[in-house]
Amino acid sequence: MTTTAEELREDVRRHYAASARAADSGGCGCGSCCNDRHYDASELGEVPERAALASLGCGNPTAVAELHEGETVLDLGSGGGIDVLLSARRVGHTGTVYGLDMTDEMLALAQRNAREAGASNVHFLKGLIEQIPLPAESVDVVISNCVINLSTDKAAVLAEIARVLKPGGRIGISDVVAEDHLSPAERAERGSFVGCVAGALSKSEYEAGLEAAGFGEISVEFTYGAAEGMHGAVVRAIRI
């Protein structure tokens, strides 16, 4: 039986809602993509414990993006808020960080974590990464941590990222990416969609998608093995 895009999205929503509830009760919210091992001890010390427990990413996009004081940052699929809170410290009180998520439980957890951290320059938005609820050319940097692979319409995501970025704006994304020789069916054999494997783009697909969306200086760099022929990766590009 064929699974529809809406069914896949609902599977993702249910999974991450359960992860948020687990983290909120003091348990580990991990189990889908990865965990907080991509952050060093000093970074984990900057955020509430529940934010770290809810970390489901495959990298550290705040390090990839090289954030600066006063910038406006958007985190796609912000989850429990770890990357939003780390970004908020880096852009300072003159900067702003938005976290976008579709899961009520994750948004509620992130808002509690932001209050506990005393972060006054963050805003959490409910919505889809395919339909970002921000104006055009309103953001300096877009980050994301193992979320774009979960979208069923990645071309729409990349187009929306380009829309909200200012000209010259940049992306710093951590994601799971397949080697070019793997077909979609072979990727699905290596892991589930909700587990951040079956829906992963290949390296050349990512590069072509970013170019089509209006990006230049594109780099997709493998960083570690996630499954046979699948890798955690760092994705960088500049909005032309």
> How confident is the model over 168-182, as pLDDT tens digits?
999 999 999 999 999
What Å distances lie between residue 180 and 202, 204, 206, 207, CA to CA?
A: 5, 6, 10, 11
Letter for the amino acid at 117? A
What Å distances lie between residue 217 and 46, 109, 170, 183, 197, CA to CA?
A: 32, 36, 10, 26, 26
Q: Into how many domains does the chain fold?
A: 1
Instruction: Kindly report the average pLDDT of the chain as a whole number.
Output: 91
Average pLDDT over residues 126-149: 97
Given this model, what pLDDT does residue 145 score?
A: 95
Find the distance separating the first CA and the last CA of the chain, reported in whole Å. 41
> How confident is the model over 5-63, as pLDDT tens digits?
889 888 888 887 888 788 766 555 444 444 567 899 899 999 998 888 877 789 999 98
Structural domain boundaries, residue 43: 5-239
When pLDDT is cut at 50, 70 and 90, the band that residue 198 belongs to is confident
In the chain, the percentage of residues whose pLDDT exceeds 70 is: 94
CATH of the domain at 201: 3.40.50.150
Given this model, what pLDDT does residue 35 score?
A: 55
Given this model, what pLDDT does residue 24 score?
A: 65
| 218: helix, strand or coil | strand
When pLDDT is cut at 50, 70 and 90, the band that residue 2 belongs to is low
- H-helix segments, the chain: 5-24, 41-44, 49-53, 61-65, 82-91, 104-117, 154-164, 184-189, 203-213
H helix count then E strand count, the chain: 9, 7
pTM of the model: 0.93
Count CB atoms within 10 A of the CB of residue 75.
30
Q: Which of 54-68, 108-122, 201-215 has the lowest mean pLDDT?
A: 54-68
Given this model, what pLDDT does residue 27 score?
A: 52
Residues facing residue 43 across a β-bridge: none
Q: Which of 24-28, 83-87, 91-95, 130-134 has the lowest mean pLDDT?
A: 24-28
- Could you write out the three-class secondary structure of 83-119? HHHHHHHHHCCCCEEEEEECCHHHHHHHHHHHHHHCC
- Token pair, residue 11, equals 């599977």
Residue 105 has pLDDT above 90, yes or no: yes
- The C-alpha torsion from 64 through 175 and 132 to 50, rounded to 10°, is -80
Residue 1 has pLDDT above 60, yes or no: no
Q: Going edge to edge, which strands form the sheet with 215-227? A: 122-126, 96-101, 72-76, 139-145, 165-178, 230-239, 215-227
Spatial distance between the Cα atoms of 51 and 7, rounded to a whole number of angstroms:
27
Spatial distance between the Cα atoms of 126 and 63, rounded to a whole number of angstroms:
25
Given this model, what pLDDT does residue 190 score?
A: 92
Given this model, what pLDDT does residue 47 score?
A: 93
